[in-house]
Amino acid sequence: MPHTSEHIRTENITGKTADAKGTRTEQIRNIALAGHAGAGKTLLLEALLLAGGAIQTAGSIDRGNTVSDTDSQEKARAHSIDSCVAHLDHGGCHLNLIDTAGHAEFFGATLSALAAVETVAVVVNAINGIEHGTRELMKHARERGLARLLVINKIDFDGADLRALVEALREEFGSECLPVNLPAGHGKRVLDCFFHSEGSSDFSSLAEAHQRILDQVVEINEATMGQYLESGEAALTPRQLHDAFEQCLREGHLVPICFVSARTGAGIHELLELAARLLPNPAEGNPPPFVGGDGEPLVIDANPSSHVIADVFKIVNDPFMGKLGIFRVWQGTIRRDSQLLIDDGRKPFKVNHLFRVQGKTYTEIDVAMPGDIAAVAKVEDIHFDAVLHDSHDEDRITLAPPTFPSPTYCLALETKPKGQEQKLAVALARLIEEEPCFSVEHHKAPNATVVRGLSELHLRVMLERVRERYGVEVTTHPLDMSTA
C-alpha cells in the first residue's frame, strides 16, 4: 500500500488541491538520472525535455548548450559537476527530472539528489556495459529504498551487444532485472513489451519478454495473481497493473530494463510512457527516512492540507538570483507568501517568490504541492538538508541524509597576492553551502587554510570556481596527511 491515506486520494481527485496548472500530487513523478560518467545522462535529459515539449531543440555536449551542463567547467570538461533540476509534462503527468554527475568526485551533489526522488534511473552505456558508477548508484538507490530503473543508452551504436548486456545486468544485479521494452530494427526503434506482446525485437520475441515481466509483476500481489490466473491478463485493469508494478519497485522485486538512444530519440517516448503509467507517484514508493524530534521514525503523509514539510536538497548561489534553496515538498502545500520555519529556528521567513526550476531558468509559481520540487531565493539561513515547515510541532524533525563519501583529500591554500584572506573565506563559504563533500578548516601550526574534498580533481574544480566566480587566485600546497 502507498504510505498515504485514502483521504488524500479523495481530496486530490476532487481537484480541490491541485496547483495553479491543475497538477495533483498523484500526477507527479520525481526521477533522478544517475550512473557512470559518460553514460549519456545529460544528453538523455535533453532528449526527454525535447520529447516532452519543454525545449524546442536539443542541445549537445560538444556545443556546450545543454539545459544541464551550464557551468563553464562542465562545458570545458564535457562532464556534469552539479546536479540539475528540470521538468516536463507528459501523458497528464508532471515529471521532475534531476540530472546528476557520474564522476565519483562529484558524488556529493549526485547523492544529495537521491533524497528528493522516488525513482532512480541508472543509465548504462550500451558499449561500456556495467561500470563502477553503475554499481555505486544501484547500491545507493537500493540502500535508500528507492525504485530503480536500468536505462540502457546509446543503442544506436552498431557494436552494442544488447542481449549480452541484459544478461550481464541480470547476473550482477539479480534476475529481477527484466526488460520492459526491447530494441528493434537494429536499435532504431524500441517496442514496449509490458503492455504489448506482439512483434519481434532485435533479440527475444515480444511475447516471451512480455510473459516474463508480467509473471514477475503479478506474483507480488495475491489478489492480482489470482485474478490473472483465473480470468487472464485482459481482466487486469491499468490501475491494478500500476499498483502491482509499483509494489514490485518498492519491494525490489523488479528492476525494469529499458532501452534508449539519447542521440536518435529511439525509446524516449517509451521511457516517458513508462514514467507516466507505471513509476511511483509521490504518495507511493517507500516512506522517506524522516526522524521526529523524539528520535523515532516519522511517517510523513503527502496530504496537501497537512502541515508543511519540505527538505532542501540543493543550494545554488546564482549570480543573478542570489542564494537559492531547492527543495522537495513532502507534505502540505507551500504558497507564495507562506511563512516557513527552517529546522528549529524561531523566526519564520516569508516566501516572497516561489520558483519552478528548469536548469538555470527560474519561473515564478504560486503553489508547490506535496511531491513537487521548487525553490526559494534570498533566504540567507537556508542550507543543504534544512527542513522547511510551517508549525513549531515539526521543529526538530530531520531527513536522514544520503551516506556521503568522506572528503579525505587535502590541500593548503594561500591567496595570490596575499591579503585576500577575507575574500577567500567568503568564496569558500559559498561553495561549501553548495557542496556537501567539500569543507574548509584552519590549521594553527603552520597557519594555513586547508580545503578538503574527494580527490585532487574535485579540489581543482572548486578552486577554479573560487577564481572564476569570486576573483580570488590561490596557490596550493600538498598537506602532510599525518598532520591533516
Binding footprint of ligand GTP on the chain (CB under 6 A): 37-43, 61, 79-80, 101-103, 153-154, 156-157, 261-263
Instruction: For residue 248, give the nearest of 224, 267, 230, 271 by alpha carbon.
Output: 224
Q: How far apart are CA 353 and CA 335, in angstroms?
A: 9
Give CA separation, 8 vs 17, 24, 96, 301, 374, in Å: 9, 10, 21, 9, 21
**Cβ nearer to ligand GTP, comparing 111 with 379:** 111
CB of 79 to ligand GTP, least distance (A): 3
Minimum distance of Mg ion from residue 326's CB (angstroms): 18
Residue 210 binds: one of ligand GTP, Mg ion, none (C-beta under 5 to 8 A by kind): none
Residue 362 Cβ vs ligand GTP, minimum distance, rounded to whole Å? 22
Q: How far is the CB of 81 from ligand GTP (least distance, A)?
A: 8
Partner whose footprint covers residue 263, from ligand GTP, Mg ion, none (CB < 5 to 8 Å by kind) = ligand GTP
Question: Smaller CB distance to ligand GTP: residue 117 or 472?
Answer: 117
Nearest to ligand GTP of 126, 244 (CB atom): 126
65 versus 398: smaller Cβ distance to ligand GTP:
65
CA–CA gap between residue 269 and residue 267 (Å, rounded) = 6
Strands 349-350 and 367-368: unpaired
- Measure the CA–CA gap between 10 and 195, rounded to whole angstroms: 28
The partner in contact with residue 43, picked from ligand GTP, Mg ion, none with C-beta cut-offs of 5 to 8 angstroms by kind, is ligand GTP
Say if CB 42 and CB 65 are below 8 A apart. Answer: no
Binding site for Mg ion (CB under 5 A): 41-42, 80
Closer to ligand GTP by Cβ: residue 262 or 298: 262
- Residue 38 interacting entry, from Mg ion, ligand GTP, none, C-beta within 5 to 8 Å by type: ligand GTP
In angstroms, give the least distance from the CB of 177 to ligand GTP. 20
Q: How far is CA 308 from CA 112, 142, 318, 344, 389, in A?
A: 21, 27, 26, 14, 5
Closest Cα to residue 465, out of 412, 433, 427, 436? 427
**From ligand GTP, Mg ion, none, interface partner of 154 (C-beta below 5 to 8 A by class):** ligand GTP
Interaction partner, residue 156 (ligand GTP, Mg ion, none; CB < 5-8 Å by kind):
ligand GTP
The SS3 call for residue 434 is helix
Q: Which is nearer to ligand GTP, 31 or 413 (CB)?
A: 31
Nearest to 31 by CA among 135, 137, 152, 118: 118
DSSP for residue 116 = G
